Amino acid sequence: MRTRSTRIAFLLAAVSLIAACSGGGDITDSGDAATTPSPAPSESLAPGDTAAAVTTTSVAPDALPDCPTDALATATGTTNITFWHSMSASLGEEVVKLTDAYNASQSKVKVKLVQGSYEETADNYYLASQGDRPDLVQLPEYQLQAMVDTASTVPVGRCIEASGYDTSAFLPTALAAYATQGVQWSIPFNISNPVLFYNKKAFAAAGLDPNTPPKSLDEMRAFSQQIVDSGASKYGLALESGFDSGGGWYVEQWFCKAKEFYTDGDNGRTSRATEVLFNAPTGVEVMTYLQQLLQDGLAVNVGDNTQTGFDNLLKLADDKEPAAMTMATSASLGQVLTVLAGGQFPQIGPDDVGVGPMPGPDGQPGALIGGASLWPVDSGDDVRTAATWDFITYLVGAQQQSQWAAATGYIPVRTDALGLDPFKTTLATDPRFGVAYEQLLASPDAPTSAGPVMGPLREVRSVLATAIAAVFDGADVTATLDAAAKQANGLITDYNIRNT
Amino acid sequence: MKRRLRDAPAALLMLGASLVLLGVWTIYPLVRAIQTGHLSCDQTGRKCTEKGWGQYLDVFQSKQFQDALWVSIKLAVMTVPIGLILGIGLAVLADKHLRGIGFFRTVFSSTVATSVAVASLVWFVLLQPEIGVLSDLFSNWIPALKNPGLLRDPNTALPAVALSSIWASLGFTFIVITAGLQSVPKELYESAYVDGAGSFRRFTNVTLPMLSPSILFISVVLSTRALQTYGEVALLTGGGPEPEKSTTTIPYLIYGKNSLISGNIGLKSAAAVLLFLISLVFALVQFRGFEKRVHYGN
Amino acid sequence: MATDIASVGATHGWRKVGRYSLLTFVAVIVLFPIYAVLLQALKSGPDSLDHPRSLLPVDLTFSTIRAAWHQGDLGRLLANSLFVSVVVTAGVIVTSLLAAYAFAFLNFPFKGPIFVFYLATMLVPGEVTVVFNQRTADSLGWINSYQGLIVPSLASTFGVFLVRQVFLQLPNELREAASLDGVGHLRFLWEVAAPLSRPTLGALGLFTFLGTWNAYLWPSQVIRGDRTHETIQIGLDRLKSSDISRLNLVTGGLVVAALPIFILLVVFQRQLVRGLTAGAVKG
């Protein structure tokens, strides 16, 4: 009897061994045609001379749906619209507050909320048939191309034109992040970028100025050395390789700081991206630098961060082997301070947390925005589209953005929100909340300041995250990045074939 | 023949509900998956192109699927024997007419009340490297608990998932083995005792053979569970740690939140159908085992 | 691992002490995870992270559980889980009774092939069907709804076979006598067959309830963010993720999620053992 279960195991083992000998390709390369990339033809209006260039949108710009923003004025009764948002926990509660306030402020539009995670909301949206789609959906920056390819939304730019909405107060980089080929697809709602969190106590104990965080990668290494040598903290820096942070997104950030494109087609914004460039010298340099930090004992790797999203931040509060610095999204600042105020961690209190810009190659400033934007969905119903636009203008209004930023740690999408309470007071009493904003303002006015756009950006980040985890474990940097780039390019090719 | 027709309307009525339900929610999705497995689709899954049936073989042979299959097999190889040994050990230990034994039996079967989500999150909390109780208490002996943490170390992540899984199924194993023990006729022990068999001989010659139906049953349940593991991985490791994706099982490869194939329902279907076929191999082996066991039992 | 049997000689005093200590030692290990999480849940934030002091039953408070209850909306989630599990359990019992009756007592065309069809569905794991069930649910508008959680689980082949097994053991004369008296199928099922199979139905009910309550993959795919329909199992994950300020809340959530099932199982221990061992001992 005992042998039967082992026999099952052996049988399966044998089967998979046989298979392993004969194959081992990439799962996304499966199928007959996948190995022969053939960029789908489309009436191309792409600039430049590359034959492979395909427009970023399969629908010609003048065939995009209109945004009849005046339809609400003539409508009678209450228009019900649905908003799928992606803010969980305390962030979600803020969205509920804003929405309740909007519903109470007028009687023409009533908004119903459905909340998911970024991944859930995106997957739901793609799954849903046309009639089941919401009127408004909030999706992260990495979904831009995929959303454009659904050809199911009303470009926000159309609404801006139709209503003469004034966008001059908006951060130009925030708007540019959601535009390709001159079409403003969606409007930013919550924006963030990675900043450096550090323990001021550890800095002081190491003889560093607790109010001067490192600006460049070299400085970050020197600071780490001093911190470790002085025994102020076991490690200088805590690294992680989550796909939406240290494993993928930060590399895009470092490319931006280095004023380099991350993909061809000018980050996929003038023509559809066909290959990634993260294995370029800048990528190799930064990865070699991080690997060296780890090998020299100056940094510690907490691994894939996506299970909690804050393992690296906890490393700052570890009572046995803490790190003095880590990089994390600015959006977590509010939560970090709340936790530390609870007094759970003797290692570090809320006032001991320092925040600085994310150090980059040669100390160059600038950052790409992360976070998410709002997409009005093309329901074919003018009144609902107009109602959705009305709600959008509320959510990105100066007063609401001030409230939103103060409560969450996200950056306001518009400059005039800074002069309004409550965020004005927040900034005045705690300048740490302004670091991410200033970092964004410092972004050079260059096309590289708008991040990469490609259909499978989420998957590409995931591939890069795997590669970075390998690099952190000591793998050869160039070979690993090259292999990851090859896999990523396969994903992009496959996506472009399937979706154009 | 007449009776068959007379009963037909009643039978249709009585079977109707479950026939429709099973047809719509079990057979239909399977047929659709088989058919979609040779397609390649856009992210909405509504625009598909032929890829050929060879796509099944390609998926099966792909590195990701092979890795996931290995993870599932390794999980089974860890959970089944250890789960059995612990379950038998506990059951034998508690198979005594002692005062208060009922209390111990309740304790040993208590983990049957934990769901996949509860058990996984319990271990997630305990093993969290920075703030988990186990990490803080035992890091002097097992440094990996703290740095990088059992769930973050590619070498220990899968054993840690197995640990959670073994603990969660301990109650089930204990209950089944205990019932098996209680159905062993006492005379068998007595005659073995009279024959001069020591307690160890009595265990190997009487207890174990008589437990074999229960042992087979548990092996089948636990190995199927290992093959179909999803929740534990979703909650404990998210399929990581990278770079090996050391805990990505086949279901997690298909449904996991950062799945490379999530945007292509053709590949998802192919992988799901392959999972079905592998489960089928499991099931057929099981059925043969059950057949043999009936003879054995008689 | 030595086995003694009560009938062979009395256990000696020292061996008794030894066995009790071993039993206690093992019990402590098995219970430790539950104990540790329970105590963490019963402490305030800073205390719950102060190990090993967190394991001492001092300074207990309900504040963490209360906070988890409010922030996780656990009352709602519990009610959802309870509602869904009860309806599915009732539904499975009804559909199993009906189908089992047809297979056990009725003669009809294609009985063999239909029986094989049922058998075949048992071979299809839920992990395989989720891909397209999600699509079906979407086309029915059942994403984020109770129907989506409930309807796909209403028929259980396992239940049909379990009940059929019992029905087949009922003496044939019973049915014949009933039909001579002019008792219809439904009445016979309801008044004779079902009551006679009550122990099996109890076990089936308990298992269906537990299975539904504990389900994770399907609820996580059909409830996509709508918190008003979420079950407790998938709601727990939310307490854990993406908000650093709720670190210890998950322990409170775990206690709330596990407690009802612990109570249920203590009450229904007999049915549980019967159900679990049905497959192993009876075959």
Q: Do C276 and B172 lie within an 8 Å CB cutoff?
A: yes
Residues of chain B contacting C49 with CB distance shorter than 8 Å:
131
Above 90 in pLDDT, residue A340? no
Best probe of the B interface among A10, A22, A30, by most B CBs < 10 A, is: A30
Which of A245, A220, A494 is CA-nearest to residue A360?
Answer: A220
* C143 shares contact with chain A (CB less than 8 Å): yes
Residue of A4, A27, A471 to mutate, testing the B interface (most B Cβ within 10 Å of its Cβ): A27
What pLDDT is attached to residue B62?
92
* pLDDT for C77: 93
CA distance A210 to B291: 74
Percent with pLDDT over 90 in chain A: 63
Mutate to test the interface with A, among B48, B260, B292 (most CBs of A within 10 A): B260
> Which residues in chain A are contacts of C51 at CB distance < 8 A?
none
A455 and B43 within 8 Å at the Cβ level: the answer is yes
| pLDDT level of residue B79 (50, 70, 90 thresholds) | very high
pLDDT, tens digit, 9 for 90 and up, residues C60-94: 888 888 888 888 889 999 999 999 999 999 999 99
The minimal CB distance from A30 to the residues B58, B146, B216 is found for: B58
Report the residue of B121, B249, B290 to disrupt the C interface, i.e. the one with the largest count of C CBs within 10 Å. Answer: B121
CB contact under 8 A, A22 and B61: yes
Strand order, beta sheet including A370-376: A109-115, A79-85, A136-140, A370-376, A187-192
HSE-up of residue A26 (Cα within 13 Å, Cβ side): 17
Chain A hits for C238, CB-CB cut-off 8 Å, are 88-89
Q: For C227, which residue in chain A has the nearest alpha carbon?
A: A115
Question: Does C224 touch chain A if contact means CB atoms closer than 8 Å?
Answer: yes
Which chain A residues have a beta carbon less than 8 Å from that of C246? 89
DSSP element (H, E) containing C218: helix C217-222
Chain C CB contacts of B175 below 8 Å: 272-273, 276-277
CB-based contact B279:C134 (threshold 8 Å): no
pLDDT at A303: 84
Q: What residues of chain A lie within 8 A of the CB of B140, using their CB?
A: none
Q: Give the chains touching A; criterion: ≥3 Cβ pairs < 8 Å.
A: B, C
Q: How confident is the model at residue A39 (pLDDT cuts 50, 70, 90)?
A: very low
Predicted pLDDT at A488 = 95
Neighbours of A240 (CB within 10 A): 29
Opening angle at CA C243, ends A213 and A438, nearest 5: 35
Q: How far is B1 from chain A (nearest CA, A)?
A: 44
Looking at residue C279, what is its pLDDT?
53
Element (H, E) at A354: strand A353-357
Give yes or no for a contact between A182 and A343, defined as CB atoms under 8 angstroms apart: no
Q: What are the DSSP calls for A182-229, one per residue?
A: TEE--EEEEEE-EEEEEEHHHHHHTT--TT----BHHHHHHHHHHHHH
Higher pLDDT, A294 or B142: A294
pTM: 0.86
**A342 inside 8 A of chain C by CB:** yes
Helix, strand or coil, per DSSP, at residue B167:
helix
Question: Mean pLDDT lowest for which of A455-459, B87-91, B282-286?
Answer: B282-286
- Alpha-helical regions (H) of A109-184: 118-127, 144-150, 156-163, 172-176
Determine whether the interchain pair C225/A129 forms a contact, defined as Cβ–Cβ distance below 8 Å. Answer: no
Q: How far is A126 from chain B (nearest CA, A)?
A: 5
Task: At A334, list the tokens.
Answer: 């509010």
Q: Rounded distance, CA B161 to CA B189, Å?
A: 39
- Asked if B73 lies within 8 A of A31 by C-beta distance, the reply is no
**Residue in C closest to A132 by C-alpha:** C141
Is A89 close to C243, i.e. CB distance below 8 A? yes
Candidates A114, A123, A342; nearest CB to C46: A342
Complex ipTM above 0.95?
Answer: no
Rounding to the nearest 10 degrees, give the CA dihedral for residues A473, B131, C238, A457: -20
DSSP C137-190: HHHTT-TTSHHHHHGGGS--HHHHHHHHHHHHHS-HHHHHHHHHTT--HHHHII
Question: Are C46 and A339 a contacting pair at CB < 8 A?
Answer: no
Compute φ and ψ for B164, nearest 5 degrees. Answer: -60, -40
Q: What local confidence, expressed as pLDDT, does residue A45 receive?
A: 35
Say yes or no: C55 contacts chain B, CB-CB below 8 A. yes
**Rounded Cα distance, A308 and A312, in Å:** 10
Taking CB atoms and an 8 Å limit, are C30 and B89 in contact across chains? no
Residues of chain B positioned with their CB less than 8 A from the CB of C207: none
Contact C224 A116 (CB under 8 A): yes
CB contact under 8 A, C7 and B189: yes
Lowest mean pLDDT segment, chosen from A439-453, B105-119, B279-293, C227-241: B279-293
Q: Which residue has the higher pLDDT, B88 or A18?
A: B88
Nearest chain A residue (CA) to B292: A1
